[in-house]
Amino acid sequence: METSLDPGPPLLEVRGISKSFGAVRALQEVDFTLRAGEIHALLGENGAGKSTLIKVITGVFPRDAGVIRLGGEEVAPRSAKAALQAGIATVYQEVNLLPNLSVAQNLFLDRQPMRFGIVREGEMRRRAKALLAEFGLDIDVAAPLGNYSVAVQHVTAIARAIDLSARVLILDEPTASLDRHEVEILFGIMRQLAGRGIGIVFVSHFLDQVYEISDRITVLRNGRLVGERETASLPRLELIRMMLGRELAETTSTRASAGEHQAREVCASFENYGKAGYVAPFNLELRHGEVVGLAGLLGSGRTETARLVFGAERADRGQARVEGAPVRLQTPRDGVRHGFGYCPEERKTDGIVAELTVRENIVLALQAKRGLHRPLSRREQDEIAARYVRMLDIRPPDPERPVGLLSGGNQQKVLLARWLATSPRLLVLDEPTRGIDVGAHAEIIRLIRELCDDGLALLVISSELDEIVTYSDRVVVLRDRAHVEELTGEAIDVTNVLAAIAADGATLAHEGRA
Amino acid sequence: MTALLPRRGLAQIFALIVILAIDRAVSPQFFDLRLQDGRLFGSLIDVLNRGTPVALLSLGMVLVIATRGIDLSVGAVMAICGAIAASLADSHGLPVVLAAALGAGLVCGLWNGFLVAVLGMQPIVATLILMVAGRGIAQLITEGRIVTFSSPDLVWLGNGAILGLPVPVAIALGMLLLTGAVVRGSALGLLIEATGGNARASELAGVGTRAMILAVYVWCGVCAALAGVIAAADIMGADANNAGLWLELDAILAVVIGGTSLFGGRFSLVLAVLGALIIQTMNTGILLSGYPPEFNLLVKAVVVLAVLLLQSPKLSGLAGIATRLRGTKP
Amino acid sequence: MKGLPPVLITAIVLVAGFAACAAQFPNIASTRVVGNLLTDNAFLGIVATGMTFVIISGGIDLSVGSVIGFTTVFVALASERWGVPPLVAFVAILALSAAFGAAMGAVIHVFDLPPFIVTLAGMFLARGASFLLSTESVPITAPVYSTVSDFALRMPGGGRLTAIAIIMLAIVIGGALLLHLTRFGANVYALGGSRATAGLMGVAVGKMTVKIYMLSSLLAGLAGIVFSFYTSAGYSLSAVGVELDSIAAVVIGGTLLTGGQGSVIGTFLGVLIQGMIQTYINFDGTLSSWWTKIATGVLLFAFIALQQALVTLARRPVAKRAGAAS
């Protein structure tokens, strides 16, 4: 895109935005600049603050500090609707249109052409067709939007936004469910819009696409701005380092050496385990007293691997073994029965039962494992709860407090306690340190080490590379929903992990087994 | 048994006391009790006796609602089971009659539970089917007549006395204790509350959420069956058209008054039964005060609205916090 | 969006059912029977039209049967006891019904409460109020009643298209036009798709909710007037359970109970199917009327199960997509 020599004020200027949720600082003094006619990629791992930044810009969340200027004018939208009226439109991955309405109705909802109180259906369709034609789309606009592919729905959402005279278009993971051809079409439309002077914010975890389409890149990590670069002059390795590495110090594993871990007994193993369209078949051995880290970018198949291992998702091929014996892991109950535990990434929706007490949340998995007929007496429950509240230093130390009232870090500890109470052999932790404050962060990492020393097998997912490198005995690197590399012992350092993540398709066949 | 006692029922107890006081003011003999032929009589006993069907229904309903469900079919299930009991009463012994009626209730509960837990239908939609068809089935059993019977055993069930208490009241009390023992004595209570509070998280913690949901609908069907048998025994006949009519609504109301949220989670059996008694105490009070019994509906409407507004997500405390927490997902 | 396939299924069920009835009782295939069927179900058709709007918008209205009951009593008392001209009473009761519905809609929106429970309270309230007015059946003798009852268009074959059947047909046609041709109708579908998204897209969700329940109650009031013509009486216990019949008609008509899809025409066909079952049972003579309920229940299950299957199929790609985020 040609940028004029005297750009004047940027189209969208965000300065010093901060936003906290309770004790968690989701955004700290973040700056972001979008020029007219540019495609600007906004990158970062889950929890880096991308969504929060978008929601602050579009008025969904009120901001704690900072200013937003649109075309030099300060704006303070209070709702997504107000942001849209100001000219900032967002298209989310799960398209926020109405699939049960026709394409034409979606484009013109609440502003249909009318005559004598009746919607001029023909006129509306004609206009809808003309509008979509601008984006190279020729479809039956009278059919329900839900009948069409996600790509068409995205284009419809973009067309609606542009027709509502949006100047800033935020596309949040628009390509996540599109095939290659559809991505091409979308990119064509994005270039065309940028050519018209519209500023586009492109959020994606597909780095290839980022390099293909974007002019500049802004990277966020842990709610802070890492940097803003021209895409053309930013090497891929450097970009991934910006996204994942906290500092560039070469941290190596403090864990057992390669020779030592071979001696340990295998706790659970997965041979050629996988599910079509979910994650490619993989081999994985988890040993007692060993931490295996799963590293990779967002969408690389980390959570998918974790869910398969635990039994939250059903594998369609391969064989799982626990202590050498073949087992079937088809439901979470199976996983629990075999002594597995799983702390999911989405604590609030998949982890805690907010209105139940700390005690009840802690004993839940143990009780489910014991079955209905062997209830834990209140005294046993109190003992278990008290033990783990003390051991994990859960605060406030009140087992009868509804867990929804605790901070994120303490909720995470409650979830850990829930599984520790079942005396598991394997714990799967998906982003255990996400969204919790610094103090709790260090404690969780200390806990992971202690648990491991007690003989537990751990499978840990984290976007914090230096963190994963510190506590892992082995690191499995994933890319494009496949396990591509396994690092052991001395080989575990941030540089190697980064290199494995960044390697492009050509090296996919690389022998990754240690 | 301490778990059975209400931990947060002060408002309900207070409401009951106020209504009782009003009843006493309206009818000075309200608290009078007398023993006659080994059975207690008096307005209070009357309240308990008449409140039995709704109390029984609310025992099942409260568990269903705790899982975020609802069962609209309990009135129709009452009619079906009452009809079965009445048709068999004069030809079979009480055990057979009870087994048949309760078995039918169990099957009805399984049907609802299957639709909700296995097919994944919305509870309100799933149970609507039996609500519509159930009365037809009941009439099929009674062949459209009001089936009367004279079996002394079944009549005793509706009008007899145990230790001075009317049998229905004793049964309701027994069911409360039984349900309480099963639910709080086993892990069922915790697992139901967890399922209603967050089904996804509970599933991931290894809770068999489908089995929980199936179980509560089955229990709800059994409770409704018992209520249907008692209602039939009370009038010595089964009226497929009117047995249990609108009682599903009273049962839901009782649960709501008992402080269990329609959005699932925490529940209290005792408070749900207390809710049923509050409704009946109001009904009786209105009757005693000389107002037409139809006035009940108006009072109920006002009570529903008042309780709803108190429970409204926009007004209530913890729910409000929960919403805020949910909104903080970065 | 117009939910064509389910409506087609409803139409096929109706035609096939009617053909089967006619094969057994050739007399059924006459304008006389059809005319009676329309007359007998006029009030149901009207109230089900209103229910269609509510259900498509993702709500439910349990109060309609009670509103009909209240209306019949109010109209009867007004013309017989209070000396109010029937036409004035009609206007008054329609205004009252509309206000009642608007109030329910406002409570649903403002306090964010489930429509099911709010309209349940409305159901108690309206039924209780009608009991307060009178617990007896009040015969209506106003001259306008006999005039209207006597009025009928002759159809070929000796059938009579009565005034109340004509009113019902007019409401069905008007309702269909309102739902499918106006901005209001589009917004009803939008609300049923997703209230949050509809709000984001500019629909005034609160106002729409109030209007939709207002419409439902207004039509229930009109159905009450029609019912009073049908029975020439006002009775506080009339139309008990009509909310269920109308919900059943709406669902059998192919409207999704969870909202977002459906049509007034489908609902009309659903009403006709229920009427047809009733007519068949009357003709048969040996079957009892409770078979209507069982047959309705079976149809209800069939349609709900069908829609469940369709929804599950439609969700499949979405489920796959949801797994895409790591």
Write the pLDDT tens digit of every residue in A3-42.
444 556 789 989 999 988 876 778 889 999 999 889 999 9
CA-nearest residue to A115 within chain C is C182
User: Among A346, A356, A429, which would you mutate to test the B interface (most chain B Cβ atoms within 10 Å of its Cβ)?
Assistant: A356
What tens-digit pLDDT sequence spans chain C (326 residues)?
Answer: 344 477 888 888 888 888 888 888 888 888 888 888 999 999 999 999 999 999 999 999 999 999 999 999 999 998 888 888 888 999 999 999 999 999 999 999 988 888 988 898 898 889 888 888 888 888 888 888 888 888 888 888 778 888 899 999 999 999 999 999 899 999 999 999 888 888 888 888 999 999 999 999 999 999 999 999 888 888 888 888 888 889 999 998 888 888 888 999 999 999 999 898 888 888 887 777 778 888 888 888 888 888 777 767 665 544 333 333 33
> In A373-431, which ranges are continuous DSSP H helix?
378-391, 408-420
C182 lies within 8 A of chain B by CB? no
B105 in Cβ contact with B81 (< 8 Å): yes
CA C28 to chain centre: 24
Cross-chain Cβ contact A150/C199 below 8 Å:
no
Whether C132 sits inside 8 A of B256 (CB atoms) is no
CA distance A334 to chain B (A): 8
Query: Residue B132's pLDDT is what?
Result: 83
- CA distances A505 to A205, A208, A438, A509, B225, Å, are 16, 10, 36, 8, 65
pLDDT in tens, A379-427: 999 999 999 998 888 888 889 999 988 877 888 889 999 999 999 999 9
Asked whether A269 and A285 are in contact (CB, 8 A), the reply is: yes
Q: Encode A416-429: b = buried (16+ Cβ within 10 Å), e = exposed.
A: bbbbbbbebbbbbb
- The count of CB pairs under 8 A between chains B and C is 125
Mean pLDDT of A268-275: 92
CB contact under 8 A, C323 and A100: no
Best A46, A64, A307, A364 residue to mutate vs chain B (most B CBs within 10 Å): A364
Burial of A2 (0-12, 13-18, 19+ CB in 10 A): exposed
Q: Is B311 on the interface with A (CB under 8 A)?
A: no
Q: Write down the pLDDT at residue B54.
A: 95
Neighbour-count burial of C311, counting CB atoms closer than 10 A to its CB (0-12 exposed, 13-18 middle, 19+ buried): middle
Residue of B nearest to C296 (CA): B133
Query: Of the candidates B120, B136, B252, which has its C-beta nearest C291's C-beta?
Result: B136
Shortest alpha-carbon distance between residue A216 and chain B (Å): 24
What is the predicted pLDDT for the residue at A437? Answer: 64
B205·A354 Cβ contact <8 A: no
Task: Tell me, yes or no, if C31 comes closer than 8 A to chain B by beta carbon.
Answer: no
Judge contact between B230 and B217, C-beta under 8 A. no
**CA-closest candidate to residue A260, choices A295, A230, A291, A225:** A291
- A276 in contact with C, Cβ within 8 Å: no
User: Contact, A362 vs A384, CB < 8 A?
Assistant: yes
Q: Are residues B325 and A354, on separate chains, in Cβ contact within 8 Å?
A: yes
Q: How far apart are the C-alpha atoms of A327 and B85, rounded to whole Å?
A: 49
What residues of chain C lie within 8 A of the CB of A96, using their CB?
197, 200-201
Chain C residue with Cα closest to A346: C326
The CA angle C22-C25-C31, to the nearest 5 degrees, is 60
Of A51, A344, A348, the CB nearest to B325: A348
Instruction: Give C53→chain A minimum CA distance, Å.
Output: 15
Residue A274 one-letter amino acid? G
* H helix intervals, C113-162: 115-133, 143-150
Q: Which of C63, C104, C120 to mutate to test the interface with B (most CBs of B within 10 A)?
A: C120
Cβ contacts of A332 within 8 Å, gap of 6 or more: A310, A311, A312, A342, B203, B204, B205, B206
Output the pLDDT for position A508. Answer: 37
Q: Which residue carries 């949340």 as its tokens?
A: A361
Res B327: pLDDT: 39
What is the reported pLDDT for A311?
92
> Which residues have C-beta within 8 Å of that of residue A233, sequence separation ≥ 6?
none
Q: Tell me the nearest-neighbour CA distance from C208 into chain B, angstroms.
A: 20
The pair of structure tokens assigned to B94 is: 């009480």
Which DSSP helix (H) or strand (E) runs through C156?
Answer: none
Give the residues of chain B that fall short of pLDDT 50: 1-6, 316-330
Which residues are CB-contacts of A20 (< 8 A; sequence separation ≥ 6)? A26, A64
pLDDT at A1: 45
Residue type for position C54: V
Tell me whether residues A300 and C321 touch, CB distance under 8 A: no
Q: What's the confidence (pLDDT) of residue B71?
A: 94
User: Using CB atoms within 10 A of its CB, is residue C81 exposed (0-12), middle (13-18) or buried (19+)?
Assistant: exposed
The complex's ipTM? Answer: 0.83
What end-to-end distance do the CA atoms of chain A give, in Å?
45
Distance CA B140, CA C317 (A): 44
Place of tokens 């006692």: B5
C-alpha span between A76 and A70 (Å, rounded): 10
Q: Say how many CB pairs under 8 Å bridge A and B.
A: 105
Taking the complete model, does pTM exceed 0.90, yes or no? no
Q: Which one of B297, B305, B312 has the shortest CB-CB distance to C131?
A: B297
A372/B contact by beta carbon, under 8 A: yes
- C201/A contact by beta carbon, under 8 A: yes
